[in-house]
Amino acid sequence: MSEEKSLNFIEEIIESDLEAGKYKSILTRFPPEPNGYLHVGHAKSICLNFGLAQKYGGKTNLRFDDTNPEKEETEYVESIKQDIEWLGFQWAEELYTSDYFEQLYQLAVKLIEKGLAYVDDSSSEEIAIQKGTPTQPGVANTYRSRSVAENLQLFADMRAGKYNDGEKVLRAKIDLAAPNMLMRDPLLYRIKRAHHHRTGDDWCIYPMYDFAHGQSDSLEAITHSICTLEFVPHRPLYDWLIAQLDIFPSHQYEFARLNMSYTVMSKRKLLKLVNDNIVSGWDDPRMPTISGMRRRGYTPKAIRDFCERIGVAKRDNLIDLSLLEFFVREDLNKKADRRMVVFDPLKVVITNYADGQLENLSAENNPEDADSGTRNIPFTKEIYIERDDFMENPPKKYFRLAPGQMVRLKYAYIIRCDEVVKDEAGNITEVHCSYLPESKSGDDSSGIKVKGTLHWVSIAEAKHIEIRLYDRLFTAEDMDDTEGEYTDYLNEHSLQVIQKAYAEPALLDATQQTPYQFLRKGYFILDKNSSPDHIIFNRTVGLKDSWAKEMKK
């Protein structure tokens, strides 16, 4: 990647705004609705909003967009804060749209006073019909010509709880013939008796997104309000409200949302996976949530690098999951200590190694990190290797263990297979090998070179661990382009559990946040449910690196 990156379109706008002296400094915001856990699409928005502020010496507010009382919970607020901090960002102020309910109410009153809003008694069905269609203008109902005084009274009565839910709404009075349907007298307030996670039962009317969002931006003096492309048609309304109310001129800019292959990224759909127990929770390591990715062992740096690399687009596109995995490997390769773990054991007896002998072989923790130190690996007469590292009748160019063939045991010796032992049914139960004493790792005096190097563990010293291997959650590459229910496309093999794998003892130095590379197997991290009696490791990502080529271009 070249060092001098060209500016993205939002950076261009900010630079020209700053040059023109439009703002002294910039203020962005990240405005999650606390109705679920954050996913990697939100990470994109976080990296963008916080990243721009950092780059231009500005600030970013965290604003919880909590205007839908039924769906919102404090648990989500806490998880969102944790995820943003984990990603490495700090907000200037923690704010809530609900803190502005009184100010928003007063702004609505101001619109009524200017003759620009009215109380409508129509049902939502009637309103939809009266709005017309994109090719047919809407028609005004009698409520549209209510006087300012009557509207002020009715709106106050709505607030005071005189009407039932849905009985009345407050609408902006704009243009029932506008080509943009959102400008045909959009709803500003609705009546909803619902307990709010912060304001309790103080309010029975709640502002609609379009009224709350832009006005909150303005109340905070947000300079650049960045959102995703589906809000393009809302921009005229955003601008209209700010102009009519004559409040701080925040501006809205839109970029393409992040869509990733083999997953879904709507909180509603993710919530259903949680509620239906299809996954173990919001932080299930298969989930595209930030908490799932954290539990799986993805690093904040990998996610940030990924977001930086995909940039800001103006058109929707589908990003390959393997690009994110590429950045995870890049980061972990430098950070992860190496360990040996055998998943499917085959017993190897080294016949010329003394019974009861134990050598502590010293091995570096991470060849990519000179400061990572060393560990001891016990070597004994009986070891496990991976069952699929042995073949009784191998094809040509098979460099792993086979009768009469030699391999190197990583960090240890060269061994040769002398005998295959089978049970009565003909299954291979163990193989007998001899080792070359002068071939110890680092000692070339045997003069023998072998092509295959295997990982292994001492049977007597090995620790038992459970391994969880994860695969993509869905089977369709572009989940937005599928028919039927998204749950029809769940990958049945997204979780594979290996109940008993065998690990070298040094693995148990692991603490929650320590990533490891299991040689030839991938990157792994201790799961949050692991305990000393039941050790569980999650596979973060395998070693295969199909994106490396792409990235070097």
Which parts are annotated binding residues? 33-35, 65, 209, 228, 257-258, 265-267
Nearer to ligand ATP, 81 or 335 (CB): 81
Q: Give the integer Cα–Cα distance in Å for 36 and 105.
A: 27
The annotation places the binding site for L-glutamine at 65, 209
Asked if residue 228 binds ligand ATP (CB under 6 A), the reply is: yes
Is residue 33 annotated as a catalytic residue, yes or no? yes
- Measured from the CB of residue 148, what is the shortest distance to ligand ATP in angstroms? 34
Q: Give the integer Cα–Cα distance in Å for 148 and 528.
A: 60
- Measured from the CB of residue 38, what is the shortest distance to ligand ATP in angstroms? 8
Nearer to Mg ion, 29 or 146 (CB): 29
Catalogue the E-assigned strands of 212-273.
Answer: 224-228, 251-255, 258-260
| Of 44, 4, 549, nearest in space to 293 by CA | 44
Using DSSP, state whether 357 is helix, strand or coil. Answer: coil
**Residue 131's binding partner, choosing from ligand ATP, Mg ion, none, with beta-carbon cut-off 5 to 8 A by kind?**
none
Nearer to Mg ion, 42 or 521 (CB): 42
Is residue 257 annotated as a catalytic residue, yes or no? yes
- C-alpha triplet 132, 136, 141: angle, nearest 5°: 40
Asked if residue 31 binds ligand ATP (CB under 6 A), the reply is: yes
Side chain identity at residue 220, one-letter code: E
Reduced 3-state DSSP string for 301-323: HHHHHHHHHHCCCCCCEEECHHH
**Residue 180's binding partner, choosing from Mg ion, ligand ATP, none, with beta-carbon cut-off 5 to 8 A by kind?**
none
Nearer to ligand ATP, 68 or 372 (CB): 68
**Is the distance from CB of 78 to CB of 91 less than 8 angstroms?**
no
59-78 CB burial, b ≥16 within 10 A, e <16: bbbbbbbbbbbebbeeebbe
Among 14, 26, 28, 45, binds ligand ATP (CB under 6 A): 45
What is the token pair recorded at 66? 């909590």
Asked if residue 214 binds ligand ATP (CB under 6 A), the reply is: no
Nearer to ligand ATP, 42 or 338 (CB): 42
Nearer to ligand ATP, 35 or 333 (CB): 35
The annotation places the binding site for ATP at 33-35, 228, 257-258, 265-267
Residues 19-78 touching Mg ion, rule: CB under 5 A, are 33
**Residue 258's binding partner, choosing from Mg ion, ligand ATP, none, with beta-carbon cut-off 5 to 8 A by kind?**
ligand ATP
Residue sitting closest to Mg ion (CB): 33
What is the contact mask toward ligand ATP in residues 243 to 282, using x (rule: CB under 6 A)?
--------------xx------xxx---------------
Q: Helix 300-310 crosses helix 321-335 at what angle (to 10 degrees)?
A: 140
**Is the distance from CB of 65 to CB of 32 less than 8 angstroms?**
yes
Asked if residue 535 binds ligand ATP (CB under 6 A), the reply is: no
* Residue 398 C-beta-side C-alpha neighbours within 13 Å: 15
| Of 201, 249, 261, 252, nearest in space to 231 by CA | 252
**Is the distance from CB of 36 to CB of 15 less than 8 angstroms?**
no
Asked if residue 41 binds ligand ATP (CB under 6 A), the reply is: yes
Of the residues 168, 267, 400, 408, only one is catalytic, namely 267
Interacting residues with ligand ATP (CB under 6 A) = 31-33, 41-42, 44-45, 227-228, 257-258, 265-267
Q: Which residues bind Mg ion (CB under 5 A)?
A: 33
Q: Which residues are catalytic?
A: 33, 257, 267
